[in-house]
Amino acid sequence: MKSLPTKKQWQTLRLALADWYKSAKRDLPWRRTTDPYAITVSELMLQQTQVVTVMPYYGRWLKLFPTWRSLANAEESAVIKAWEGLGYYRRARNLQALAKAVVNEGGSLPRDGEKLLALPGIGPYTAAAVGSIAFGLTLAVVDGNVMRVLTRLLALPDDISRPQTRVKLQALADQFLDQGDPATHNQAVMELGAMICLPRKPMCLICPLRNRCIGRDRAEEFPVKTRTKTVQRMETVAILRRGKRFYCEQVPIGKPWHGLWRFPDFDPARMEKDEVVAQIKYGITKYSVTMQAVTARWKPRAGPTGGYFTAEEMETLAFASPHRKLARWL
Ligand code: ADE
């Protein structure tokens, strides 16, 4: 790595970033609240999901579950339903587990980084984001946006999938942090990553940090990340029909999507295949999946363990996203 910024240079960068953020920041609903609960909801939703996708969910969620207590007391199925379509459902369960812990421990989040980290569902990113934005704690966030900004700014060749690199980036983010206003600073770095320092075709010409950005002429080379190869996979699901109703089942605990509803896997031991009627592609972790839907019938003596639902009834259940697509298509 070239030399790290000096204290004075960090300060120049911080000021340039703060100036930019003041005029360029988006007016987002979670930036208008000081409620730690609402801020936590937004930060959990924003992990791995883009702002435009999160927006409608955030508003709906707070109407359904306006407080820690209401979320703690909600039915798990209602919680999963409200998360339907956002993906990574573990976040929804984590959020409810967190709500239960908060309610058990007096009803509000602790204003302390270590204590935040000790709560279920809160990792270093969430502790720093919620701690700084809701309580002004001097904790620097490191997420994908921040890693991209920092590795480009310093032309850092380290592989960000390695734990040592994360440690290094956390130390750099700590140095960069504005101790006087960590809430604004953290949001400004993430905003820069979301608006200017884009993964592809970053807008270096209008970047407030361009004068001191070492990676700016080859920004797309950063961050360096060893790729996990995507693996192609085929699967076949069965459409079993009874009049206006279709057979669906709830995914049991221990399987991906557990708790969500889906069409069953086509099982030749129990079903007879008619014809392929649809094909849906989706990605999950390292897999690129082609899901084929076939109309089918139960073999004699094979029986359903799930249930039959009309289109309207299916709308009220929380479906795994590719299965929701299929349900709507039907
Ligand atoms: N991504 C996640 N949290 C964010 C925030 N508070 N501001 C901007 N981008 C974000």
Q: Write the pLDDT tens digit of every residue in 51-105.
A: 999 999 999 999 999 999 999 999 999 999 999 999 888 999 999 999 999 999 9
| Rounded CA separation 198/176 (Å) | 20
**In the predicted model, what is the mean pLDDT of residues 198-221?**
96
pLDDT of residue 48: 86
| Protein residue with its CA nearest to atom 5 in ligand 1 | 187
Q: Are strands 241-242 and 231-239 parallel, antiparallel or unpaired?
A: unpaired
Whether 270 has a pLDDT exceeding 70, the answer reads yes
Using the atom order of ligand 1, give the atom closest to the CA of residue 46. Answer: 2
pLDDT of residue 300: 81
| Rounded CA separation 169/158 (Å) | 10
What is the chain's length?
A: 330
Which CATH superfamily hosts domain 7-221?
A: Hypothetical protein; domain 2 (1.10.340.30)
**In the predicted model, what is the mean pLDDT of residues 226-249?**
92
Which of 51, 125, 132 gets mutated to test ligand 1 (max ligand atoms within 8 A of its CB)? Answer: 51
**How many Å lie between the centroid of ligand 1 and the Cα of residue 196?**
14
pLDDT of residue 328: 93
Whether 212 has a pLDDT exceeding 90, the answer reads yes
pLDDT, tens only, 24-37: 999 999 999 999 99
**How many Å lie between the centroid of ligand 1 and the Cα of residue 74?**
27
pLDDT of residue 3: 78
**In the predicted model, what is the mean pLDDT of residues 232-257?**
93
Which of 43, 57, 149 gets mutated to test ligand 1 (max ligand atoms within 8 A of its CB)? Answer: 43
pTM of the entire structure?
A: 0.86
CATH number listed for the domain at residues 231-329: 3.90.79.10
Q: Are strands 261-262 and 245-250 parallel, antiparallel or unpaired?
A: antiparallel
Whether 227 has a pLDDT exceeding 80, the answer reads no
Is the C-beta atom of 190 inside 6 A of ligand 1? yes
pLDDT of residue 253: 86
Q: Where in the chain is the domain with CATH 1.10.340.30?
A: 7-221
Whether 1 has a pLDDT exceeding 60, the answer reads no
Could you tell me the maximum CA-CA distance found in the chain, to the nearest angstrom?
Answer: 78
Is the C-beta atom of 186 inside 6 A of ligand 1? no
Tell me how crowded residue 116 is: count the other CB atoms within 10 A of its CB.
26
Q: What b/e readout covers 76-94, taking b as 16+ CB neighbours within 10 angstroms?
A: eeebbbbbbebeebebbbb
**How many Å lie between the centroid of ligand 1 and the Cα of residue 175?**
19
**In the predicted model, what is the mean pLDDT of residues 150-161?**
97
**How many Å lie between the centroid of ligand 1 and the Cα of residue 321?**
24
Is the C-beta atom of 128 inside 6 A of ligand 1? no
Q: Please, is 207 exposed, middle or buried when counting C-beta atoms within 10 Å of its C-beta (0-12, 13-18, 19+)?
A: buried
**In the predicted model, what is the mean pLDDT of residues 310-319?**
95
134: closest CA among 24, 267, 239, 33?
33
Cα dist. 166→49, 118, 121, 144, 208 in Å?
Answer: 20, 20, 20, 11, 24
| Rounded CA separation 215/1 (Å) | 11
Whether 2 has a pLDDT exceeding 70, the answer reads no
Q: What b/e readout covers 142-165, taking b as 16+ CB neighbours within 10 angstroms?
A: bbbbbbbbbbbbbbbebebeeeeb
Is the C-beta atom of 41 inside 6 A of ligand 1? no
Residues annotated as catalytic (active site), given as ranges: 43
Tell me how crowded residue 133 is: count the other CB atoms within 10 A of its CB.
25
> What kind and span of H or E run contains 14?
helix 7-24
Contact call for residues 98 and 119 (beta carbons, < 8 A): yes
Please list, in sequence order, all residues whose beta carbon lies within 8 angstroms of the beta carbon of residue 161, skipping any fewer than 6 positions away.
225, 226
Whether 223 has a pLDDT exceeding 70, the answer reads yes
Average pLDDT of the chain is 95
**How many Å lie between the centroid of ligand 1 and the Cα of residue 192?**
10
Contact call for residues 293 and 273 (beta carbons, < 8 A): no
Is the C-beta atom of 46 inside 6 A of ligand 1? yes
pLDDT, tens only, 107-139: 999 999 999 999 999 999 999 999 999 999 999
| Distance linking the first and last C-alpha atoms of the chain | 56
Contact call for residues 41 and 21 (beta carbons, < 8 A): no
151: closest CA among 216, 227, 223?
223
Who has greater pLDDT, 181 or 217?
Answer: 181
Residue 238 three-state SS: strand
**In the predicted model, what is the mean pLDDT of residues 211-239?**
93
pLDDT > 90 fraction of the chain, expressed in percent and rounded: 89
Is the C-beta atom of 194 inside 6 A of ligand 1? yes
| Rounded CA separation 23/315 (Å) | 42
pLDDT, tens only, 162-202: 999 999 999 999 999 999 999 999 999 999 999 999 999 99
Is the C-beta atom of 191 inside 6 A of ligand 1? yes
Whether 21 has a pLDDT exceeding 70, the answer reads yes
Q: Where in the chain is the domain with CATH 3.90.79.10?
A: 231-329
Contact call for residues 56 and 238 (beta carbons, < 8 A): no
Which pair of tokens denotes residue 219? 């920004």
> What kind and span of H or E run contains 8?
helix 7-24
**In the predicted model, what is the mean pLDDT of residues 291-303?**
88
